[in-house]
Amino acid sequence: MILRWPQAVVLILTALSSCVALTAEKLYTDQPPVTPELAFSGPYDVGVSTVKINDPDRLNTANFITTTNRPLLLEIWYPINLPTQKLKPKRATYKNVTRLQKPFELQGEAYRDALIVSDGEFPVVLLSHGFTGYRTQMFYLGEHLASHGYIVIGIDHKDSTNSEVFDDATRASGFISTLYNRARDQQFVLNYFSASMPGNSLNNLAKRMDTNNAAIIGHSMGGFGAINTVGGCYDFKSEFFKQGGVPTAIALVLPFPLNSCFGGGEQLDPRWKAVQLLAPWGGEASVHDIDAMAKITVPTFYLAGDQDNTSGFKNGIKRLHERTGSEHNYLLVFANARHNIGPHPAPAASFATDFELGHYFDPVWDTETLNRVVEHMSLAFLDCHVKADPARCAYLPTRESSQQYKGAYHQFEDPWKGFKHLWASGLTFYKK
Q: What would the pLDDT profile of 398-414 be if each residue is shown by its tens digit? A: 999 999 999 888 899 99
Cα 69 from chain centroid (whole Å): 24
Are residues 344 and 137 in contact, defined by beta-carbon separation less than 8 angstroms?
Answer: yes
Handedness of CA 18, 19, 24, 30 (dihedral sign): negative
Asked if residues 82 and 111 have their Cβ atoms less than 8 Å apart, the reply is yes
Q: What is the mean pLDDT of residues 280-286?
A: 97
Answer whether residue 10 shows pLDDT above 80: no
d(CA 411, CA 404): 8
For residue 209, pLDDT beyond 90: yes
103-112 vs 272-278, strand pairing mode: unpaired
User: Which pTM was predicted?
Assistant: 0.93
Contact 60, 68 (CB under 8 A): yes
Question: Per mean pLDDT, which range of 10-19, 152-161, 221-230, 268-277 is the poorest?
Answer: 10-19
pLDDT at 202 (0 to 100) = 65
So what's the pLDDT on residue 201?
Answer: 52
Q: What is the pLDDT averaged over residues 280-294?
A: 97
pLDDT at 195: 85
Under the banding of pLDDT at 50, 70 and 90, the label for residue 22 is: low
Quick: pLDDT tens for 153-186.
Answer: 999 999 999 999 999 999 999 999 999 999 999 9
Q: Which domains does the chain have, with CATH numbers?
A: 5-431 (3.40.50.1820)
Whether the per-residue pLDDT at 213 is higher than 80: the answer is yes
pLDDT digits (tens, 9 = 90+) for 58-91: 999 999 999 999 999 999 999 999 999 988 899 9
Q: Residue range 228-236: average pLDDT?
A: 98
pLDDT at 408: 82
Q: CB of 147 within 8 A of CB of 79?
A: yes
Banded model confidence at residue 1, pLDDT cuts 50, 70, 90: very low
Q: Average of pLDDT values for 83-103? A: 95
Categorize the per-residue pLDDT at 17 as very low, low, confident or very high, splitting at 50, 70 and 90.
very low
Average pLDDT, the chain: 93
- Mean pLDDT along residues 267-293: 98
Please compute the mean of the pLDDT values over residues 281-285 and round it to a whole number: 97
